[in-house]
Amino acid sequence: MFRIIEASEAVKLIPDGAVIGLNSFVGLANPEAIHTAITESFRSTGHPRDLTLISSAGFGLFDPDRAAEPYIREGAVKKIICGHFGAMPSTKKLVLEDRFEAYNLPLGPMSHAMRAQAGGHKGYLSRIGLGLFVDPRIEGPGLNNLSKDTELVQLTEFDGEEYLKYVLPDFNIAIIKGSSVDAYGNISFEDEYCTIDALSIAQFTKRNKGKVLVQVDRVRHDFSRPRDVIIPAAFVDAVVVAEPKGSNQSSGTMSGDLHVPSSHMDYWYRRLDRENAGSSKQRGDDSADIIGRRAAKELKKGDIVNIGFGIPEKVSKYAAAGGILQDLTLTVESGGIGGLPAGGSAFGAMIGAGSICDMGSQFDFYDGGGLDICFMGALEMDRFGNVNAHRGVDQVAGIGGFGNITSATRNVIFCLTTSTKGLNVTEEDGSIHINSEGSISKIVDKVRSISFSGPRAVENGQRVLYITERGVLELRPEGLTLVEVYPGVDIKKDIVDRIPFEIKLALKASQQTGRY
């Protein structure tokens, strides 16, 4: 029978050494009141300690002093297994200081492993991750010198084919953020942007005789419609009611209360673009817009699409400007289908979604090749067409859903600049002017870590383009091929001489001189 208790009481249900399943999506659906209570308890008593935190989509609020970051920093955690570290600014730095064990697994296999293990299976078999950093033959999932766990990802064979077997530790605590609890104890998510892995985490925890702790915004005194219940009362041990401070995390356009017709999507894109202005553009630099406009030309009416974070978000801008946005079905990893993905700290939310499903179901669709096209960013690419999108020089963001999306989508479009740190490119009258080169090249001989495997993409027959601010490269069986150069760009000086390996050329005269 569930109980409504204070957050400080809920923390007493968490034993030392607990393995905690966290249901969050980057900066969304974080049960902040429970995290804060854990921090306060650890500071005053030293408990709970030696915690293992597991989250397929990552957690955090982009603030080192909120959510789980304080108690992670202060030593309560011994291990983190996570799909993405991007919303945890202090934690992702501590990872590389060997402060605790840290592992990065692709988001989709983590979500599917939770669901499979909740059903009593010994793990989850997937081809996602083969040839990537997580493959034990390449690096494995460990992110630092402490991270030696070889059970999380294992190479195996089934029916004559290679697979990776993903196995998560058994959860004995679940911490979940919902919207309301009804008179029976059922949990609904009516104000949340997404449900993520909530049901799988609760089921996995109960299978292991653990405790499910749920933070909600309110108590309802009526009864939820059965179809609206995400976590049944039978799975819930304790509920913490924490009324949102100020405006709710969710807004009606993102939680589904308000319908946004396709004819209004252009308005909403312009509004989001103003709110996120400057996030992917250096002062006076047109690179992101040049890339986004060219990439948007790859879209066709009726396409089902995933658009990544950063420069790829410009694709939506030019899809709107070109009048095709309302003829596309956009999706986001967290489960939204239809509508317009939000960016920034609301990444994972969707304005005017047609439907929002559990994340595991979304990745069923992605892994089955359901997307027609995707647009992804990249930290660097190499001679084999491999892409690193998850690990920089001095920090790790994590692969998130990138590995699933790029492994199975028919048309994969990478949006990246040729260099960074000082690059300044402008466009005047349809001609590109490279005013200054960046000090760090993003086209390298060998990527630091592999988020996307070029050789496997060729083997799978995928079409892969790398769209930059000065031209377009295509991954072909014979190698990387320059297929388009923008007006004003010097092929040798601005492209060929900037690439530390030989590329093929397949240019038409019109591609070198025509407008785009």
Within-domain flag for 41: yes
Number of domains in the chain: 2
41 touches 205 (CB < 8 A):
no
- For residue 488, which of 508, 516, 467 has the smallest C-alpha distance? 516
| Cβ–Cβ under 8 Å, residues 324 and 465 | no
Closest CA to 24 of 61, 59, 54: 59
Tell me: do 223 and 304 sit in the same domain: no
DSSP H stretches of helix in 368-416: 402-408
249, part of any domain: no
Are 351 and 470 in a shared domain? yes
Q: Looking at 241, 274, 297, which one is the last position of a domain? A: 241
Residues 295 and 421 in one domain: yes
Q: Is the dihedral of CA 229, 233, 237, 239 positive or negative?
A: positive
Predicted pLDDT of residue 280? 44
Cis peptide before 48 (omega within 30 of 0): yes
- 440 is written with which tokens? 């760090």
Three-state SS at 67: coil
Shared domain for 193 and 272, answered yes or no, is no
Residue 19 lies in a domain: yes
Per-residue model confidence (pLDDT) at position 247: 45
Could you say which residues of the chain have pLDDT below 50?
Answer: 247-250, 278-281, 512-516
Nearest C-alpha neighbor of 337 from the set 452, 256, 243: 256
Q: Round to whole Å and give the CA distance between 60 and 62.
A: 6
| Pair (500, 363) in one structural domain | yes
Would you call 142 helix, strand, or coil by DSSP? strand
State which of 184, 208, 241 marks the end of a domain.
Answer: 241
Whether 248 is covered by a domain: the verdict is no
Query: Is residue 275 domain-resident?
Result: yes
Structure tokens at 300: 């066709």
Interaxial angle between packed helices 314-321 and 265-275, expressed in degrees from 0 to 180 and rounded to the nearest 10: 140
What are the residue ranges of helices labelled H in 123-214? 198-207
The answer on 454 and 383 residing in a single domain is yes
Write the CB contacts of 382 (distance below 8 Å, at least 6 apart in sequence). Answer: 443, 444, 445, 446, 447, 454, 501
Q: How far apart are CA 470 and CA 476, in angstroms?
A: 20
- What is the pTM (predicted TM-score) of this model? 0.92
Count how many residues are written for the chain. Answer: 516
Please choose, from the candidates 491, 286, 474, the residue with its C-alpha nearest in 3D space to the C-alpha of residue 381: 474
Say whether both 237 and 259 belong to one domain: no
72-79 contacts, C-beta under 8 A, 24 or more apart: 72/100, 74/39, 74/42, 74/43, 75/42, 75/49, 76/38, 76/39, 76/42, 76/48, 76/49, 76/50, 76/51, 77/50, 77/51, 77/52, 77/53, 78/50, 78/51, 78/52, 79/51, 79/52, 79/53, 79/103
Distances (CA, A) of 49 to 123, 227, 324, 360, 386: 27, 38, 52, 30, 40
What CATH number is attached to the domain comprising 503?
3.40.1080.10
As annotated, the active-site residues are: 333
In a domain, 508, yes or no: yes
Q: Which range marks the domain in which residue 385 is found?
A: 254-513
What is the predicted pLDDT for the residue at 277? 57
Q: What is the CA radius of gyration of the chain?
A: 23
Give yes or no: residues 272 and 383 share one domain. Answer: yes
Same domain, 119 and 195: yes
Domain stops at, among 213, 241, 269: 241
Whether 453 is covered by a domain: the verdict is: yes
246 found inside a domain: no
What six digits make up the tokens of 345?
Answer: 């700290």
Q: Are 228 and 301 in a shared domain?
A: no
Please check whether residues 128 and 101 belong to one and the same domain: yes
Q: Do residues 410 and 416 make contact, with C-beta atoms less than 8 angstroms apart?
A: no
Residues 222 and 353 in one domain: no
Q: How many helices and strands in the chain, by DSSP H and E?
A: 14, 33
Distance of alpha carbon 457 from alpha carbon 461, whole angstroms: 6
Contact, 236 vs 2, CB < 8 A?
yes
